[in-house]
Amino acid sequence: MNGEKTKEAGESKVPVSFIEQIIIDDLREGKNNGRIHTRFPPEPNGYLHIGHAKAICLDFGMAEKYGGRCNLRFDDTNPVKEEVEYIDSIKEDIHWLGFDWDNREYYASDYFGKLFDFAVDLIKKGLAYVDDQPSDIIAEQKGTPTQAGTESPFIRRSVQENLDLFYRMNEGEFEEGSRVLRARIDMSSPNMHMRDPIIYRIIKTPHHRTGNSWNVYPMYDFAHGQCDYFEGITHSLCTLEFEIHRPLYDWFIDQLMTSAYRPRQIEFNRLNLTYTVMSKRRLLELVRDGKVKGWDDPRMPTLCGLRRRGYTPESVRKFIDLIGYTKVEAINDVSLLEHAVREDLNLKAPRVFGVLDPLRVVITNYPADKVEEMEIINNPEDESMGSRMVPFSKEIYIERDDFMENPPHKFFRLAPGSEVRLKGAYIIRCESFKKNPESGIIEEVYCTYDPETKSGKHLSAKKVKGTLHWVSAQHAIDAEVRLYDRLFSHEDPSGQKDRDYREFLNPDSLKVLKNCKLEPSLGSARPYDKFQFQRLGYFCTDPDSTPARPVFNRTVSLRDTWARMVSKKQE
RNA sequence: UGCUCCGUGGUGUAAUUGGCAACACGUCUGACUCUGGAUCAGAAAAGUCCAGGUUCGAGCCCUGGCGGAGCAACCA
């Protein structure tokens, strides 16, 4: 019965966000002639981070899903903060995520002429005036959220004088800060943004696209809605902090519109992630102060950082999908992001052997000059990925913590007298070991192997609890492996009153291992190639890698129940 | 002492025009395994911020509280 009901509904019951619901309703009602047109409007003043990915997935995703279009529009109204170098990286990151804007690449600066004309128009209507006061006086007259503002003494300037002054502002006659153009709305509005907002200011810094053509530049509020209007945007999706700007957004379009069409601004919650910071200002500080190695440091929440860390675009999109869009300001757990990348890489990443902290094991009854090629499955999740040959010989490396002289209860790995399977090879038994009498460090472990237990031989009835990864000592390649931990030790580093977020920087967020031993097939890995180092985690070849010196980044570890058990016991 | 928005398991999101609060992550348990980490199965966990009201019935509607966030850049 229930099945019937669902069937009749026609669509699966996948919940949609409130924004998607609005779009569905608009489409059904035939609003905007059944068009959906969105835009993604980054300011080219920094690199995109995962918070932008959330907006990108919505803007492009909704358009894609409902047969519409999404424009890429650079919000370049402030030449002081913006640079061309960011534009290319932004485009690259959007493409990396798997979205495209065709030929619809626009700039707010494309509309400077139209915006200027519109400002002139407002002046002529008596709805804008030039104010000669300095910024601190203007701010003072704005009042406070609980107290009405007072009118500027320049509010009653004649249209002629305003026009004359505004043109001369643009001609470069006046200094920066000496005059602004303000919209005349309501100095006693309960909404601060409606108290005669500044719409044009004088800036003499050359613009990265328009050069010295302009000396006045529109403010965000005077550009955004109008650009949406010019481009025929139907749904202008932005984050919650712009909610309070919406009346202003609508007010300007009211003055401009000549038909029933008008874009609609809808706000959603911005992405916050635990153990990191997301504001461009702070990310920039981390880069400038050398707290990280650059915008693409694998610890950064930037898209280029995540990419270098080994995240796939699919995993980022999956995560975005998981958290959804609401109006609740929340902080999302990074572990969900990590889950998303594990799930994706589990299907895609070939399994390989890599020993991060090598301990030499000598198989005493194995011929010294013998080398066997062991066939190892590349990915048990995907047969089509085939198998490869891995050399096995008398001396191998295993992970140092896979051996314990005095193992605790339920330790399934190697210990004196115990047996383990070497994945894809033989079962070995630990007979003895060599320990440095001074340091107490185990230097070598001596084992015997059972030739009857070779992998693939089904006659091997012997069962052991533990299976270890290994690398043949004479064939191993040396590599550097970089392990990453959370950049901050606090869940919400920038949300602590009276504490600077930098106080919470995790000093151990990067650990570099220089003496790792990897199976020889990894010698041909190329930057951004992804692997699962069996039993350890997912790793990605770093662009610093050279054939002589491979470098790998750990994207994320595998879930480790043993480690959890151990750490619990310690508590 | 203004305006706007928000308040559902540990976390994040759901719940058609009001109809016995669902899904995912995480946690715990078990099975299986040549990855202790894959995979599979199961369980615990909220009665929806509080108090009233409307209703046969409210997380959804109304009223009043409480709590949180945002708003006073010539930033976006």
Note down pLDDT in tens along chain A; length 571 residues.
222 223 223 333 467 888 988 898 888 888 999 999 999 999 999 999 999 999 999 999 999 999 999 999 999 999 999 989 899 999 999 999 999 999 999 999 999 999 999 999 999 999 999 999 999 999 999 999 999 999 999 999 999 999 999 999 999 999 999 999 999 999 999 999 999 999 999 999 999 999 999 999 999 999 999 999 999 999 999 999 899 999 999 999 999 888 889 999 999 999 999 899 998 889 999 999 999 999 999 999 999 999 999 999 999 998 998 888 988 888 888 888 998 999 899 989 999 999 999 999 999 999 999 999 999 999 988 888 999 999 999 999 999 999 999 988 788 899 999 999 999 999 999 999 999 999 999 999 999 999 989 887 655 567 888 899 999 999 999 999 999 988 998 888 888 777 889 989 999 999 999 999 999 999 999 999 999 999 999 999 999 999 889 999 999 999 777 777 676 665 5
- Catalytic residue, from A35, A201, A280, A421: name it: A280
Q: Name residues whose C-beta falls within 8 Å of residue A568's C-beta, 6 or more positions apart in sequence.
A: none
CA-to-CA distance for A144 and A191, rounded, in angstroms? Answer: 10
Closest nucleotide over all strands to A190 (CA to C1'): B3
Q: Nearest residue to B25 (CA, C1')?
A: A336
H or E element in which residue A201 lies: strand A198-202
A440-464 residue pLDDT tens: 999 999 999 999 898 876 555 678 8
Partners of A415 in the β-ladder: none
Distance CA A481, CA A56 (A): 32
Task: Mark whether A104 is an active-site residue.
Answer: no
Collapsing DSSP states into helix, strand and coil, what is residue A5?
helix
Q: Is residue A85 annotated as a catalytic residue, yes or no? A: no
d(CA A173, CA A188): 32
Helix (H, G, I), strand (E, B) or coil at A129: strand
* CA A442 vs CA A261, A399, A400: distances in Å: 76, 12, 9
Write the single-letter amino acid at A398: I
Which nucleotide has its C1' atom closest to residue A422's CA?
B34
CA-to-C1' distance for A172 and B21, Å?
64
Whole-angstrom CA distances from A14 to A25, A58, A59, A392 are 16, 16, 19, 50
CA distance A263 to A187: 26
Instruction: Find the Å distance, CA of residue A549 to C1' of nucleotide B41.
Output: 45
Positions of chain B reached by protein Cβ under 7 A: 1-8, 10-16, 24-28, 34-39, 68-76
Whole-number Å distance between alpha carbons of A43 and A45: 6
What one-character DSSP code corresponds to residue A474? T
Of A104, A270, A282, A429, the active-site residue reads: A270
- Measured at the alpha carbon of residue A48, what is the angle toward residues A485 and A263, in degrees to the nearest 5? 140
Q: Which residues contact A176 (CB under 8 A, 6 or more apart)?
A: A201, A202, A203, A204
Residue A193: which nucleotide is closest by CA–C1'? B71
**Torsion A301-A307-A309-A315 (CA) sign:** positive
State the DSSP string of A14-59. ----HHHHHHHHHHHTTGGGG--EEEE---SSS--BHHHHHHHHHH
Q: Which nucleotide is nearest to A139 (CA to C1')?
A: B72
Active site residue A124: no
